[in-house]
Amino acid sequence: MIRNVLIAGLVALLGVAFWTLAAGYVPDAELNRTAAYYAANAQTDVGAPNIVTGIIVTWRGLDTLGEVTVLFLTSAIIALVLAQSKTPPGASGAGFLPSGELLTTGSRMLLPLITLLGAYVIMNGHLTPGGGFQGGAILASGVLLMLLADPSHRFAHSVIARVESISGLAYVLVGLAGMALAGGFLDNGILPLGRFGAMLSAGAIPLISVLIGLKVGAEFSSILESLEETEDA
C-alpha cells in the first residue's frame, strides 16, 4: 500500500514535468523547415505523393531498415525463447478437433482476398495511406487466420524463413545499390522516378515497399508460428 502511494507520488512528479511540457506547448503555425522541405521536394526528390511513405522509405530509410530489423530480431528471439519449450513435432494441434467445413471454406475464401488487400496496400503505399508495414501486417493476418482455422496445419517453415531472408537481404542490397548508383545508402533514385502519382513511379519505393511487406509478413508469420507451436496441447 505504502509502496503504491510512493509510486503514485513519483508518477505524479513525472506528471509535473509532462504537464509543464503540455502547458508550454505552442503548435507551429507554419511547417518547420524539415517538414517544409519534405512538402516542397516530395515530387522532385522521391516522387511519392504520400510524403509519409517518402520519409519512411527514403529520407528516413535507415530507421525503417532498423524497424524491419526489430521485427526480425523479435521473431528470431521469440523462436529462441520458445525453442526450449517446444512441443515435439506433430504433437501440436493433435488435441484439437478438426475444424468444421464452414470454417475451412470460409477461411479459404477469405485468404485470397486478404492477400490481395495486403498486396494492394503495399503497392499503393507511395500513393495513398499504406505501405510495406501495413500491407505486411495484413498479409500476416491471413496466416493468423489459417492458424486459427486449422491448428493442425503445419506451415512450411523453410518457405517463411527463405522469404524472410531473401527479402531482408534484398532490402540491404537495394540500399547498397543506392550508394553505388545514386546519391547514397537507400536512395530510391536507382530507378527512374517516373510519372508523379503513377503506380510504378517514385523510383525504388514500390520495390522497397514490396520487400518490406514480404519481410514484415514473413516475420509476423514466423512469430505467430513460434507461438502456435508452443501451444500447450
Shortest distance (Å) from residue 120 CB to other proteins: 16
- Which CB, 111 or 177, lies closer to other proteins? 177
Residues 84-113 that bind other proteins (CB under 8 A): 84-85
Q: Give the type of residue at 63.
A: D
136, three cell numbers: 505486411
Other Cβ atoms less than 10 A from the Cβ of 11: the count is 10
Which residue in the set 118, 125, 142, 189 belongs to the binding site for other proteins (CB under 8 A)? 189
Q: By rule CB under 8 A, what count of residues binds other proteins? A: 101
**Is there binding between residue 192 and other proteins (CB under 8 A)?**
no
- The interface region with other proteins, picked from 92-100, 115-123, 140-148, 184-192 by CB under 8 A, is 184-192
- The interface region with other proteins, picked from 14-22, 94-102, 106-114, 147-155 by CB under 8 A, is 14-22
**Is there binding between residue 182 and other proteins (CB under 8 A)?**
yes
User: Under a CB-based contact definition with an 8 Å cutoff, are residues 74 and 66 in contact?
Assistant: no
> Which x/- pattern over 134-153 shows residues binding other proteins (rule: CB under 8 A)?
--------------------
User: Measured between alpha carbons, how far is 142 from 111 in angstroms, rounded to an integer?
Assistant: 6
User: Under a CB-based contact definition with an 8 Å cutoff, are residues 153 and 129 in contact?
Assistant: no
- CA end-to-end span of the chain, whole Å? 39
> Which x/- pattern over 201-230 shows residues binding other proteins (rule: CB under 8 A)?
----------------------x---x--x
User: Measured between alpha carbons, how far is 199 from 206 in angstroms, rounded to an integer?
Assistant: 8
- Which CB, 65 or 107, lies closer to other proteins? 65
Buried b (16+ CB within 10 A) or exposed e, 90-119: eebbeeeeebeeeeeeebeeeeeebbebbe
User: Measured between alpha carbons, how far is 74 from 184 in angstroms, rounded to an integer?
Assistant: 28
Residues 30-89 that bind other proteins (CB under 8 A): 30-43, 45, 49-52, 55-56, 58-67, 69-74, 76-85
Which residue in the set 151, 178, 206, 213 belongs to the binding site for other proteins (CB under 8 A)? 178
